[in-house]
Structure 1
Amino acid sequence: MHHQFYLNTLLLLFSVSTALAQKPADWVNPFIGTSNFGATHPGPQYPHGLASVAPFNTAFSAGGLNPTEKDEAWNSRGYVHENKFLTGFSHANLSGVGCPELGTPLLMPTAGARSFDPQVYGSVFSAEDAEAGYYSCHLDKHNIKVEASSTLRTGLSRYTFPGGEGHILLNLGLALSNESGGMVSIVDAQEVEGFRMVGTFCYNPEDVRPIYFVARISKAAEEFGPYKKMPAYRNVEADWVAYNNTWKPYPYFQQEVAGDDVGAYFSFQTVPGEVIEVKLGISFVSIANARQNLNAEQPGFDFERVRTQNYERWNELLGRAEVEGTDYQKELFYTALYHSLVHPSIFQDVNGEYPLMGQHGAGRITTGNRYTVYSLWDTYRNVHPLLSLLYPEIQEDMVRSMTSMSEESGWLPKWELLGMETGVMVGDPATPVIADTYLRGLRNFNVEAAYQAARRAATAPETENPLRPGIDDYQALGYVPLDGEGQWDGTVSTALEYYLSDWALSRLAAALGKEADAHLFAERARGYLNYLDPETGFLRPKYRDGTFYPDFNPLEGKHFEPVTGFVEGTAWQYRFYTPHDVPFLIEQLGGADAFSQALQACFREGLYDVANEPDITYPYLFNYVEGEEWRSQEKVAEIIARHYSNQPGGIPGNDDTGTLSTWLAFSMMGFYPLCPADMDYALVTPAFESVRLHLNPDYYPGGTMDIQALRTSENSQFIQQMLLNGQPHNRFFITHQQLTAGGVLKIDLGDTPSKK
């Protein structure tokens, strides 16, 4: 009996110590979002890292017989969880984007007879495992275990071979990018260098740039060389066409080989269980910089060191939000926070060089980081406010990067990628990011230069303004007319984004003492009233002569067809899209009751799109209607339960470089930023028992902010009363300044809506 008691005690202590030992990074599940078009990947990713090592499995289906959606559709995913046939591991990848790009350079270990054809050497894979900073799987065809980790600018792979003939292939033909072409050059039996062209993101022909690399292997190869795919040729005399679908190796050739389908190989004789490691560094400046990045971040071959450093950096950042709840809740939350910290990505090399915005030269920074991958139409809504709250030192660097882009190219970014402006989406999204950052108290950047760049975008005529198409009519009429709209122009959507940006600019101007500008842009921000149709209660497309579009149908686009006047959304999804002026919009729509009824109908009739940015705040808008705040609490909880999970399809659509994940992270903490440059967060029911925010004391002297949810039962989801630092808090909003001042917000929850 005593032995049994002693054993039970040990088991209990072990269980407790194990639970206590778990860190935030342990809850990350990188497979979340790898299905349902989430477009995330499970490979090791350093926070805001330029490099990552992701399995690439969208080139061919199992057996290598049929092309998959990589070649048949506009696919933005290098990895899809359902596909179980991979052709390599890519070292530069995007997470949660809507157009294909990167997915290169590819490394692939193989065993047995050597082949350069990915349909032949590709393999079904199994036994996948993914954690923060680590990925592994088993290549069934080759009986090889693959493990991977990464640093900011380099990847590291560890291959365990079965014995016998083994090979490591570098493929510059396959990629997710729509560009092709590359160069490979063997340095010696352990090293290869080169570049691969990338770009043409979302059909923009101007954004083309090489990605440079250097790869180094831990063991000298017995045979090595470049290879290329032989082109089709025509035998004129015999009057027939032969397609020579073979691949030609060039053993020991150490000159440059270039083309669309080129690569390199390293072949070995291995013993069973032999481990060979490969590290690969990248740069967008030069091969020399790629080598310097590799030498600086991985001076040797030390897989465990790289993996541990990656893991600890994730712990450091994820730990700024400490939550108490179920294991399932922690898995959802910390994975969401993880995805929020993938992009934007570090762009400069270890020596400080980076490609100048819109140019092919190299610039240099001496302090801070230069960032890239700004999907601003998405991320201005919540990712950048989250960074300002929990990672202000990172957000300041990002705004400094944006300001530098305007100095180098003349314009702030819209959808910047790898130092190139892709021009994707509508509006002027950099302006609200800059204004919001400054108003939250982050001011260590050249605000005057940033302000002037934003003002230029808001006032420059259309002939010289790449950021605001239709601005001449917008300034003259107060709206962008429907006349001449193409299939995807979205004039109403475009103008609504301009109104928001103008409002944010007016707030920034006021903070800087620019009163005339503040008045000008505030007046322009109410131009949405030009679209408000009193007959239908919708924002309706309008012609230059002032007449409304006659064939208006609010349900147009419900099945994802093009929508007249709108882009990436329907008239319903844009109906309440004046986040800077919701109380006034409520008045214009007939008052609080009419607004609530219309908002309820949006959800009830299935017209709300949980995966779409224009209506992403709608679940919180009931907070503007006194007595209806409980509907926001109920709706947010319902959306989390219905649309988010810890499965590969656990993000309800394209993550948009972390935007849908950030929605979840904020929502689970119980507050959400409704509008950039507005310091109010909407309060809803936290998913957790407690949330502790560890604030950067250099920016927020409050230190920590605790949010405590006090439930009377498991079903308690409705806010009854709130106390902020012991005092009654009667608003269903809390300001950024209140939150960052630190203290305790206690929220009493009940099973039914409060009658107050």
Structure 2
Amino acid sequence: MTTSASRALTRPRRVAVTALATALATALTSVSVAGATARAATTAAPKSATLVTDPASVVNPFIGTTGDGHDFPGADLPYGMIQWSPDTNSRPKGGGYDYGDSSITGFSLTHISGPGCDAAGDVPILPTVGAIDSSPGSDSQSFSHSNESANPGYYGVTLGNGVKTELTTTARAGLGRFTFPATTQANLILKVANSQSPSSATSVSVLSNTELVGSVTSNGFCEAANPFTLYFAISFDHAFTANGAYGSTSSGPAGEYVTFDTTANQSVLARVGISYTSATEARANRDAEIPATTSFATVQAAAHAAWDAQLGKIQIAGGTSDQQTVFYSSLYHASLHPNIFSDADGSYLGFDQAVHAVPAGHAQYANYSGWDIYRSQAQLTALINPAAASDMAQSMVNDYKQGGTLPKWAMNNGETYIMVGDPGAIVLADYYAFGARNFDTSAALSAMVNQATTTNNDRPGVGYLDTFGYLPTDSGYGCCHEYATVSTQLEYDSADFALSAFAGALGDSADQTKFQNRAQNWRNIYNPSSGYIQPRHSNGRWMDGFLAYPISGGTNSNDFAEGDSLIYTGMIPFNVAGLASAEGGNSGLSGYLDHVLSGYSGLLSLAGFQANMGNEPSFELPWEYDYVAQPYKTQRDVRQIQDQLWPNTPGGLAGNDDLGEMSSWYVWSALGMYPETPGTADLALGSPLFSQAIVNPGAANQMTINAPAAADGSPYVQSLTYNGAAWNNAYLPKSAVAAGATLNYTLGSSANTSWATASTSAPPSYDGTATSFITEPVGPITSGIAGKCVDDARSGTGNGTHIQLYTCNGTGAQNWTVVPDHTLQVFNKCMDVIGGATTAGTKIQLYTCNGTTAQQWVATAAGQLVNVGSGLCLYASTTNDTDQLQINTCTPGAADEVWKLP
């Protein structure tokens, strides 16, 4: 196998790599290859070609529980509301558990798999023995991995205090079996105020000596501040002998403890139900899903069976034991979110804070990590579970109706606006394309079009796409976590394309054409001189000091979300052929891919020297060789990424799992395909990892993938048949998803550089006409005072430089650009009213363009320039050179308020 270390790092027409960048890239690549070689040397022999019949038993829930994965190992069901799992002392983001820790602080009822911020972790419950101390909320207990086990639907551990804790769950409820030493002081501490996010209100009510209910309101996710309330209800199989609140505050108790006598019966069985609507519903969920007489073994067996049903939607044979475990663990992690949010009776709390109900047989879902999951997790969910994905899609439509926006990064019943773009549109189109059709598609399309065409919180700055044809780097959009203009535009472009595909599928040809064309606006931020996507000022000028991959704090570092131009230049997944053409042809794009894929760090902090296959913006890159007549490089690189970044270890995720997105990438890649094009069922091809895989066995759209010679060292496609006929294309048609297919691969250890290389063999690309870039007038702004112009004092470029009246002289200081957003710019900065004041006499300065009304000017028929923010006119208080201009009450006809734009 060709190693990544052997590939050239040179890149024609591109900004040169600094010596430091080259050295680091080389060092990182060498480390990655060495690690892969070491793992390959210890890999078990291939399994026989027998289909796995109990996939839940193959899962390792500890994968991704240390490092950047942020997964959790506890008990849950597919898309379940409850995730009962241990929290360790470092309590890392979302998952709450780090395999490297040595003590457990509690077993909380909710978790999020792999986010980049703190979330959930509500109501940790910690078993202790002996007297309750003065601060039980800070208690923890030691544990050893030798006394710990987990599989889907079950978690168990014996703590250092001798208490064995076992957890299992249904969708909205769980059973905890706590086996204590024989003692009169067996305690369960309910740390109600110890959610991962700060709690603002708590309550606990003891209903009897066998039951209590309560709630916790937690605040925010990442930078968001929207609160949500979790209600819980716990009953025990025998009475507690004592109880008490601790840490009472104005917001409620920090927690509650209950004490049992276990001298005669050492096991305490706790039944827990949760809800986001009320404590009454939490009790009802518990009693509906786990009646009081239900045994722990019954619930555990049902959970295991539920996971076998979910994971069995894809059957595999062959591969090594580790590869089978990584595959099914990835499918497991990709099946945790979004989460059921409605109660057993259909009740749920909407984005309007009112209680609604779904029809019988359906569920409302929550927790959409949109920026992440639109790339491959949403498609996988729809492919193998279209009924659940249809409900997820309808839930998004419900959220729009009740809250005004499609989910972007929605947590429970609130939008956080974390990350950029309009991923909700893509997720809906993805669900539909891959078979989830049972939702209100008309309402979905209406919501998508509305968000794409009107100023709104979900797509800040969207109007620029039609007026400028791009998002200017120096314009502010005013709300909703807007940043990273270049990344944001590329995300909007993908959303526009997905919208167009969805509209076309529904027969709306007008919107299909409109948004497919506007999706091509990436061309307006592609600089042919550098060969990169670049930040661009609102006056059309490319950003000064541009670096494709800044080492640290580069001049364009704020224009990209979790990446840089090196990575983002390839993020045109709907028109890779168009990008190749812009790059000078297939060889140009191939050279770019060779460069960016010269190594796979999997380290977010080092993005900039190579692809970061531990983070979403790089996920599509290795599949783009399919589009440039080099599919063998896709086969090679995908296999190397699998080998280097996906070990069967707790550290086996190179980045945040992001609610299953990263795990879904592995599932698709192991099947030998990837949903490259947003909103379509187009599948770019790699090569299968297993000798056989059956997707949706027994269904009308069953896909069977046969590759008898599949092996880690044989990733190269020699030939392929599709439904019995020779197939020489590097993609599957859309019909493969809808109708199923049988693929028969011949694989080998040497690249076949002629397979699927014809011009017609590339996956589809979708072109169109970009919004025309507006050429703004440039020249002097002359005054009604004869011979005078608006001038930038001494050609200054610093914020606060005076804007003054001065004799017209034709210098650059008087060369103003009239920009369509109503700004007047010189030296890439804007004419600005100091402090955004609205009072007459306020001076005018040069300032960084920020999109505020203090920098917007409208010309009147009388020749005045009215400042939008103040409603006052640009005014020269004297006729002298160097007189700093100001705003003043508009007086029609006054020469000192008359200005002629270029």
Q: How does the TM-score come out when normalised to structure 1?
A: 0.88
Contact 2:94 2:113 in 1 (8 A): no
Select the residue among 436, 458, 474 that pairs with 2:452.
458
Indicate conservation of the 8 Å contact 1:154/1:294, yes or no.
Answer: yes
Q: 1:606-635: CA deviations, max 9, x gaps?
A: 410011111211111111111x11111010
In structure 2, the residue matched to 1:132 is 152
Match in the other structure for 1:182? 202
Secondary structure of 2:419's counterpart equals coil
Which residue number in structure 1 is paired with residue 506 of structure 2?
512
Give the Cα–Cα distance (whole angstroms) in 2 for the partners of residues 481 and 20 of structure 1. Answer: 53
Give how far 1:113 is off. 2.2
Match of 1:434 among 414, 419, 428: 428
Which position in structure 2 is the counterpart of 1:198?
218
Judged with a 3 Å threshold, the aligned counterparts in structure 2 of structure 1 residues 151 and 521 are, in CA distance, closer, same or farther, namely same
Partner Cα separation in structure 1 for residue 86 and residue 377 of structure 2: 26
Q: Per-residue CA shift, 1:681-707, capped at 9, x if unaligned?
A: 11111110111112574xxx24x2211
Deviation, 1:171, is: 1.2
How far apart, CA to CA, are the structure 2 residues paired with 1:714 and 1:566?
A: 35
> 207, 215, 235: which one pairs with 1:216?
235
Structure 1 residues 229-308: aligned runs within 5 Å: 259=251, 261-271=253-263, 274-300=266-292, 301-308=294-301
Correspondence for 1:365: 358
The reply on whether 1:619 has 2:622 as its aligned counterpart is yes
Q: Percent identity?
A: 33
Unpaired runs of at least 5, structure 1: 1-15, 59-67, 232-257
On the 8 A contact 2:626/2:634 being kept in 1, the answer is yes
Evaluate the alpha carbon distance shift between residue 682 and residue 610 of structure 1 in structure 2; reply closer, same or farther with a 3 A threshold: same
> SS state of the match for residue 471, structure 1?
coil
Asked whether the equivalents of residues 497 and 678 of structure 2 are also in contact (C-alpha less than 8 Å), the reply is: no
Which stretch shifts more, 746-755 or 176-185?
A: 176-185
Q: Judging changes above 3 Å, is the alpha-carbon distance between structure 1 residues 444 and 22 closer, same or farther for their aligned structure 2 residues?
A: closer
Separation of aligned partners in 2, 1:332 and 1:428: 31
Residue 53 of structure 1 corresponds to 84
Tell me which residue corresponds to 2:70.
39
Give the AA of the match of 2:98: V
Deviations 1:652-710 (A, max 9, x none): 1100000000000111111111022232211111110111112574xxx24x2211113
Specify the SS of the correspondent of 1:509: helix
Determine if contact 1:172/1:260 at 8 Å carries over to the other structure: no
Say if 2:689 and 2:710, in contact at 8 Å, map to a contact too: no
Residue matched to 2:770? none
- Preserved contact between residue 192 and residue 216 of structure 2 (Cα < 8 Å): yes
Structure 1 match to 2:727: 729
How far apart, in 1, do the equivalents of 2:575 and 2:441 lie? Answer: 25
Match of 1:445 among 432, 439, 449: 439
On the 8 A contact 2:80/2:170 being kept in 1, the answer is: yes
| Aligned-partner residue type, residue 283 of structure 1 | S
Q: Which stretch shifts more, 273-282 or 151-160?
A: 273-282
Report 1:537-576 matches (<5 A).
Answer: 537-556=531-550, 563-576=557-570
Q: Are the equivalent residues in 2 in contact too, given 1:695–1:740 (CA < 8 A)?
A: no
Question: Following the alignment from structure 1 to structure 2, what is the Cα–Cα distance between the partners of residues 194 and 562?
Answer: 49
Q: SS of 1:621's equivalent?
A: helix
Equivalence for 2:708: 710
Residue 730 to residue 350, structure 1, CA distance change in 2 (3 Å):
same
The range that moved more, 160-169 or 731-740, is: 731-740
Q: Is the alpha carbon distance of 1:755 and 1:87 closer, same or farther for their aligned partners in structure 2, counting shifts above 3 Å?
A: closer
Letter in 1 for 2:377: V
- 2: distance between equivalents of 1:116 and 1:260? 17
Where 1:467 maps in the other structure, the secondary structure is coil
Matching residue within 470, 479, 484 for 1:479: 470
1:748 aligns with 2:746: yes
Separation in structure 2 between the aligned mates of residue 186 and residue 609 of structure 1, nearest angstrom: 51
Counterparts of 2:653 and 2:742, CA distance in 1: 31
1:454-495 C-alpha deviation (Å, 9 max, x unpaired):
0000001x2xx0111111222211111011459971001111
Alignment of 1:666-745 (within 5 A): 666-694=668-696, 697=699, 701-702=700-701, 704-711=702-709, 715-745=713-743
Question: Partners of 2:501 and 2:143 in 1: how far apart?
Answer: 54
Deviations 1:89-114 (A, max 9, x none): 00011111111111011111111222
CA contact (8 A) 1:37 1:77 kept: no
Letter in 2 for 1:693: V
Q: 1:155 to 1:549 in 2, by over 3 A?
A: same
Whichever residue aligns with residue 276 of structure 2, its letter is: F
Contact 1:719/1:748 (<8 A) preserved: yes
Deviations 1:580-615 (A, max 9, x none): 111111001111111111110112264100111112
1:665 alignment partner AA: V
Q: Which segments of 5 or more consecutive residues in structure 2 lack a partner in the other structure?
A: 1-46, 600-608, 755-902
**8 Å Cα contact 1:158/1:276 also seen in 2:** yes
Cα pair 2:341 2:366 within 8 Å, conserved: yes
Question: Alpha-carbon deviations, 1:63-121, whole Å to 9, x = none?
Answer: xxxxx576xxxx44411111111121000111111111110111111112222524764
2:847 equivalent in structure 1: none
What residue number does 2:305 align with?
A: 312
Are the structure 2 counterparts of residues 653 and 260 from structure 1 closer, same or farther at C-alpha, using a change threshold of 3 Å?
farther
How far 1:563 moved relative to its partner? 1.3
Tell me, yes or no, if structure 1 residue 342 matches structure 2 residue 342.
no
Contact 2:275/2:343 (<8 A) preserved: yes
Output the CA distance in 2 between the equivalents of 1:208 and 1:350: 23
1:20 is displaced (CA, Å) by 8.4
CA shift digits 1:374-415 (9 cap, x unpaired): 111110110111112111111111111111111112221111
Among 646, 652, 656, the alignment partner of 1:644 is: 646
When the two chains are superposed, the root-mean-square deviation of aligned CA atoms in Å is: 2.2
Q: Cα offset for 1:559?
A: 8.2
Please report how far the alpha carbon of residue 262 of structure 1 lies from its aligned counterpart in structure 2 after TM superposition.
Answer: 2.1
> Residue 149 of structure 1: which of 158, 163, 168 is its match?
168
Residues 346 and 370, structure 1, Cα contact 8 Å, conserved in 2 = yes
- Confirm or deny: 8 A CA contact 2:646 2:653 kept in the other structure: yes
Q: Distance in 2 between matches of 1:719 and 1:740?
A: 24
Using the TM superposition, give the Cα deviation of residue 223 of structure 1 relative to its aligned residue in structure 2, in angstroms: 1.4
**2:565 match: secondary structure:** coil
1:440 is displaced (CA, Å) by 3.7
Give the 3-state SS of the residue equivalent to 2:247 in structure 1: strand
For 1:711 and 1:322, locate their aligned partners in 2 and report how far apart those are by CA, in whole Å.
18
Q: Report if the CA contact (8 A) 2:387-2:438 is conserved.
A: no
* Equivalent residues of 2:547, 2:554 under 8 A apart: no
- Letter matched to residue 640 of structure 2: E
Structure 2 distance, partners of 1:57, 1:260, is: 25
Contact 1:333-1:665 at 8 Å conserved across structures:
yes
**One-letter code of the match for 1:145?**
K
Pairwise CA distance, 1:438: 2.8
**CA–CA distance in structure 2, aligned partners of residues 499 and 52 of structure 1:** 36
- CA distance change for structure 1 residues 720 and 49 in 2, over 3 Å: closer, same or farther? same
In structure 2, what is the Cα distance between the partners aligned to 1:632 and 1:681? 13
2 CA distance for matches of 1:149 and 1:220? 21
Inter-CA distance 747–528: structure 2 relative to 1 (3 Å threshold): same
User: What secondary structure does 1:637 align onto?
Assistant: helix
Residues 488 and 363 from structure 1, CA distance in 2 versus in 1: closer, same or farther, beyond 3 angstroms?
closer
- Please tell me whether the aligned partners of residues 95 and 111 of structure 2 are also in contact (alpha carbons under 8 angstroms): no
Whether contact under 8 Å (1:77, 1:176) holds in the other structure is no
- Assess if the C-alpha contact under 8 Å between 2:487 and 2:559 holds in 1: yes
Map residues 527-538 of structure 1 onto 2, 5 A cutoff. Answer: 527-538=521-532
Q: Is the 8 A contact 2:244 2:257 kept in 1?
A: yes
Aligned counterparts of 2:695 and 2:519: Cα–Cα separation in 1: 34
